[in-house]
Amino acid sequence: MSNPEQAADGAHPAAIAQPAPTPPKLDPVYYNWSNTFSIMMGRMTGNRDVELEKNYFTELDATKAESICKRCESNKDYLLQYSPIIRFLSDEVYKLGGDLSKDNILCRMCTNEQSGGFSLDYGILLCANKFRNRGHQEDTMAHEMVHAWDHLKWKVDASNLRHQACLEIRASTLSGECRFAREFFTRNQWSITEQLQACVRRRAELSMMQRPQIKDEAHAKKVVNEVWESCFNDTRPFDEIYR
């Protein structure tokens, strides 16, 4: 079982439990043509003002929080009803005694660089302001549902790095987030040979590097390699990699 103070996929329970946002008053200091121009030019020339960008887009998200979360909720309801992979994983979680529904799959605004998270005690967090489109949200929901299935199926130790690496390998493999079209069109990853394996490795290693027990990139790669063969080839609850 995951530590209730730290969700298995990096989402703190406080982020899941918080109420839906209310829009703040607009602070005009970041919303003028010169700041927008500075941000765009900085990105093009490489001379970026990271603090300006962070403040600008954080406030922009906050002013649109209500509409962003409504869009997330609408997509969530649609996917729970019509997405084949989401419906399948919901049913498989239910068979193990779990229940994932609109009541414990929650859309919230997030400040860190993640699109979702899972806690066995609280449910699934969807970072509404991080989704590019409904397809991205579907991949994230599927990723977190694979985590939910794994936690219900096996005794997962939150402090065991091999367990955590296996969770990330399986979720990236089975959710569809590493399929060729997603990598090619949204992440500029153009490799043809073993594209799926390369994507899963990269995402699992990045996820592991967010954990305080991981010393560096080499350590993350080592842990992922230790469990790679068994976890990548284990497609349960699917018969094979779905997409």
What positions carry a catalytic annotation?
144
What's the rounded Cα separation, in Å, for the pair 169 and 41? 37
Q: How far is CA 179 from CA 11, 73, 153, 208, in A?
A: 24, 25, 25, 21
Which residues are bridge partners to 98 per DSSP?
none
Smallest Cα–Cα separation from 30: which of 65, 1, 58, 64? Answer: 58
What's the rounded Cα separation, in Å, for the pair 6 and 11? 7
Query: Which tokens go with 7?
Result: 């969700």
How many helices and strands (H and E) does the chain possess? 10, 3
